[in-house]
Structure 1
Amino acid sequence: MTRVLVLTDYRGTFYSTARTQHGLCTMDVGKITAHLTRAGLDPEVIRFADLDLTGDVRGVPVLYTSSEDRGLHYKSWIEDLVLALETAGARVVPGYRFLRAHHNKVMMEALRARLFPQDARLLGTRTFGTYEELAATELDGPWPKVLKSAYGAGSQFVARAANRRELLRTARTLSDTSDRGEAVREHGRRLLRRDHHPRSLHRQKFLVQALVPGLAGDFKVLRMGARYYTLYRRNRPGDFRASGSGDFDFQDLAGVDRDALLDYAERVSDTLGTPLASLDIGHDGERFHLIEFQCLHFGTVTAEESTGYHLRVGDTWQHVEEECDIEAVFCAAIVGHLRQFAPAPPRRSHEAATATPGSRRPSGR
């Protein structure tokens, strides 16, 4: 049996769900180990703190959770361990770069530039490590622009700037990193030393990009293995942001062709190459735009509150009615991903390849 490491955090949580378990927003680790065992794997659940990095982990699949703790201090430690595992030859799922991009919009934009250069050019995204770097830069392209802190979810720390003055004022606030002591010492150096090269007091990284015009909302698409779940999110009233609005619709497509949306989501997720992906997609009336993406530890409302999922069958998409068992769907995606690398796997039917307990009834859409 293939050994699989399942790494949980200090509270024993793993990923997240739309429900709570014992007051925690976590998948049921017991159900996950049971599903993986039935698939012929040998899961071993370990806390990050109990991980032995001296052991031989070459080729061992590793499933791990992330964190969105305030300041991302705990996530930084997780990153250290996952990078060490990947360096030692473990098959971390997803790869370390996607962990680094989780809850980190600057890294996500760096990956977009490499993986989706056409989308990146359309947005004209620039990233900055200090406010002073932005102040010294002349930005190309039209206004308004969108300013995003590297961190924050649900449209936290995301703002629109109508002009350069507004952009600089907002960036100065978002990038502030100073405390009283640091600020006093730095201002003292500037007053007393003629040759002092000022240190920035605004070092919280951020990005600036074009605002996609004409979006009344966006689409959330979750890919979990062969399953694609979709919902439409309307913008907040009087706002340009859809993330965090809570105004969801599983039926409304805002005039967008469902198959075209799924085709686009498939191309994006295939390029990412991960078994799980959460995509925020906009449509401006002519073309799709990848707004943001995550490949682990993302919200699962789109799947868990759905009435079914979409499945590629040949050249068409079919809708399969199913009540989502998120742990079963998660494991089916992981097992399918791991079997891509197995030697000479036997040909499997669609029912086996997407197997999840429960009834299914496909219908063309």
Structure 2
Amino acid sequence: MKSIIALMDYKAKFGSKHFDTPYRSGMDKDKLTHYFNELDFRVEYMYLNEINLSKDSYSGKDVIYTSSEDIGYKYKSYIEDIIFALELSGANIIPAYKHLRANNNKVFMELMREFEGLTNNISAQVFGSMKDLLMHLDKITYPIVFKTSEGASGTGVSLINTEKELIAKVKQINQRDYNKDLRDYGRSLKHKGYIRESLYRQKFILQEFIPDLQNDWKIYIFGEKLYVFKRPLLKGRGIKASGGGYDNYFYGLEAEVPDGLFDFAQEIYTKMNVPHISIDIVFDGREFYLIEFQSLYFGTAGIPYSEGYFTLKNKGWDFVNNKLEVEKVYADSIAQYLEKKHIKKTEHIYHS
């Protein structure tokens, strides 16, 4: 039986699950163990704080892990340190550390879109401060979509129509520490030539606006299973489809999927080389656009709300009417990913 390490947070939470019990407790670890056992995997659960790189070797070991959406993302930062160190030590981190870095970090997500070559038909710019923005104001075309780097369910997203609105928005998202700002001002008086810190250093994204949209589609791909739901733009929510309430969405066969949407999503999934992914896609009648993605610790409501999933067959995408538990879908995707990775490794050794 193959072994896999599953890293939990300090609350013994692993992963994300809609309708979890107790509330916000993540996946059911007993169920997860059961489904992995069926796939010939033995799961060893460990707390992140139990990792000791000075005593134990994790080189070559398969490691799955949780992320976090704690307030201020302070614990998530700790998780990043542990996972990056494990990856550097030679552990097989699933998914790789860069995907954790992009989780609830839309600035890095946009940078990943570029260096992974995911799509090139929608432009975006990332900024780390007001002063960064001021260097590029003359290149910005309005209206434009403003996004804070952190935030889920549409929080931090707004449509900006003028330069004045943009400047005000950047100021709005920053919480200033007036004592530290005053000390920095003092440095400028004391030291000739000293350049003060920008007062507004909260990173953000400006993304190209696609007009006249009525909805987006959220797609999960877990190995060979594809879940989809349509999210209408509800009155009063502006350009935000996310966060409109799961009872207002349309799942599976009711999602009114345009031809080519699943192929577009599958191409992104293949490029990302991950066991599972959540993708937000819009369609303007001519082209599909990748708006956002997450490769771990994303919402899973589309699974229990759906009557089944789509899978790619020789003649196209077939719908399988079968309601599955999140733990089953997750375990299957990890096992399939590792099997494909083993096959590729064997083929590489053989051809070498």
Q: TM-score, normalised by structure 1?
A: 0.88
| Distance in 1 (alpha carbons) for counterparts of 2:254 and 2:240 | 18
**Counterpart residue number, 1:39:** 39
Structure 1 residues 108 and 139: CA distance shift in structure 2, 3 A = farther
Mapping for residues 221-300 of structure 1, pairs under 5 Å: 221-238=219-236, 239-246=238-245, 247-250=248-251, 251-253=253-255, 256-257=257-258, 259-300=259-300
Deviations 1:313-349 (CA, angstroms, capped at 9, x unpaired): 113110000112110111011111111133599xxxx
Aligned-residue identity in percent:
32
Unaligned runs of at least 5 residues, structure 1: 346-365
Q: Secondary structure at the match of 1:312?
A: strand
**Counterpart residue number, 1:124:** 123
Task: Tell whether the 8 Å contact from 2:158 to 2:239 is kept in structure 1 after alignment.
Answer: no
Mapping for residues 1-365 of structure 1, pairs under 5 Å: 1-54=1-54, 55-116=56-117, 118-119=119-120, 122-140=121-139, 142-174=141-173, 176-190=174-188, 195-238=193-236, 239-246=238-245, 247-250=248-251, 251-253=253-255, 256-257=257-258, 259-342=259-342
| Distance in 2 (alpha carbons) for counterparts of 1:29 and 1:291 | 32
Which one-letter code corresponds to 1:80 in the other structure? Answer: D
Structure 1 residues 233 and 344: CA distance shift in structure 2, 3 A = closer
| Distance in 2 (alpha carbons) for counterparts of 1:133 and 1:235 | 32
Task: Tell whether the 8 Å contact from 2:113 to 2:119 is kept in structure 1 after alignment.
Answer: no
| Distance in 2 (alpha carbons) for counterparts of 1:210 and 1:242 | 16
User: After the TM superposition, which of the residue ranges 181-190 and 144-153 deviates more from structure 2?
Assistant: 181-190
Which one-letter code corresponds to 1:125 in the other structure? Answer: A
Deviations 1:214-261 (CA, angstroms, capped at 9, x unpaired): 21110000001100000000113141111111231125445x52x411
| Distance in 1 (alpha carbons) for counterparts of 2:43 and 2:178 | 49
Task: Tell whether the 8 Å contact from 1:282 to 1:288 is kept in structure 2 after alignment.
Answer: yes
Q: How far 1:196 moved relative to its partner?
A: 3.1
| Distance in 1 (alpha carbons) for counterparts of 2:45 and 2:26 | 14
Q: Secondary structure at the match of 1:267?
A: helix
Q: Secondary structure at the match of 2:155?
A: coil
Which one-letter code corresponds to 2:208 in the other structure? Answer: A
Q: Secondary structure at the match of 2:132?
A: helix
Q: Which structure is higher in RCO with an 8 Å CA cutoff and minimum separation 6?
A: 2
Which one-letter code corresponds to 1:234 in the other structure? Answer: P
Task: Tell whether the 8 Å contact from 2:228 to 2:255 is kept in structure 1 after alignment.
Answer: no
Task: Tell whether the 8 Å contact from 1:219 to 1:280 is kept in structure 2 after alignment.
Answer: yes
Structure 1 residues 192 and 264: CA distance shift in structure 2, 3 A = same
Q: How far 1:94 moved relative to its partner?
A: 0.4
Q: How far 1:123 moved relative to its partner?
A: 2.8
Which one-letter code corresponds to 1:295 in the other structure? Answer: S
| Distance in 2 (alpha carbons) for counterparts of 1:60 and 1:192 | 54
Q: How far 1:188 moved relative to its partner?
A: 3.9
| Distance in 2 (alpha carbons) for counterparts of 1:272 and 1:331 | 19
Structure 1 residues 261 and 136: CA distance shift in structure 2, 3 A = same
Q: State the Cα RMSD in Å.
A: 2.0
Q: How far 1:184 moved relative to its partner?
A: 2.5
Structure 1 residues 344 and 207: CA distance shift in structure 2, 3 A = closer
| Distance in 1 (alpha carbons) for counterparts of 2:299 and 2:117 | 23
Which one-letter code corresponds to 2:73 in the other structure? Answer: L
Task: Tell whether the 8 Å contact from 1:19 to 1:25 is kept in structure 2 after alignment.
Answer: no
**Counterpart residue number, 1:357:** none
Which one-letter code corresponds to 1:135 in the other structure? Answer: L
Task: Tell whether the 8 Å contact from 1:306 to 1:324 is kept in structure 2 after alignment.
Answer: no
| Distance in 2 (alpha carbons) for counterparts of 1:208 and 1:304 | 34
Task: Tell whether the 8 Å contact from 1:15 to 1:27 is kept in structure 2 after alignment.
Answer: yes
User: After the TM superposition, which of the residue ranges 30-39 and 264-273 deviates more from structure 2?
Assistant: 30-39
**Counterpart residue number, 2:348:** none
Structure 1 residues 323 and 343: CA distance shift in structure 2, 3 A = closer
